[in-house]
Amino acid sequence: MTTSVENHTWTELADREADGLEVRLLWSETTGRVLVAVDDTRVGHRFAFDVPRGEALAAFHHPFAYAPARATRRYRAAEPSTDLQLQS
């Protein structure tokens, strides 16, 4: 499958979906860029980021570990606190 993003033609190398989370690995023949695109339909959040070719498959399988902090900021804000301080 090919798609157009940012005036580039991207070829989908892989895709996976589970529990409302869709992850796609895209490659631009024109620029040689590799992109991981994440669409979380559970919370309506999507983001994409470039990855080095040598890390593309690992980033595809673990996008939250490889994504830049700005891309996952909404997720961190929604995480419950793990602060175990006693309350009086």
pLDDT digits (tens, 9 = 90+) for 32-62: 999 999 999 988 889 999 999 999 999 999 9
Structure tokens given for 58: 């690992």
pTM passes above 0.85: no
Q: How many domains does the chain have?
A: 1
- The separation between CA 61 and the C-alpha centre of its own chain, rounded to angstroms, equals 9
**Domain presence at residue 63:** yes
**Domain presence at residue 57:** yes
How many angstroms separate the CA atoms of 5 and 19, rounded?
25
CB 16, CB 45: distance < 8 Å: no
Percentage of the chain exceeding pLDDT 70: 72
Q: Which amino acid is residue 88, in one-letter code?
A: S
**Domain presence at residue 86:** no
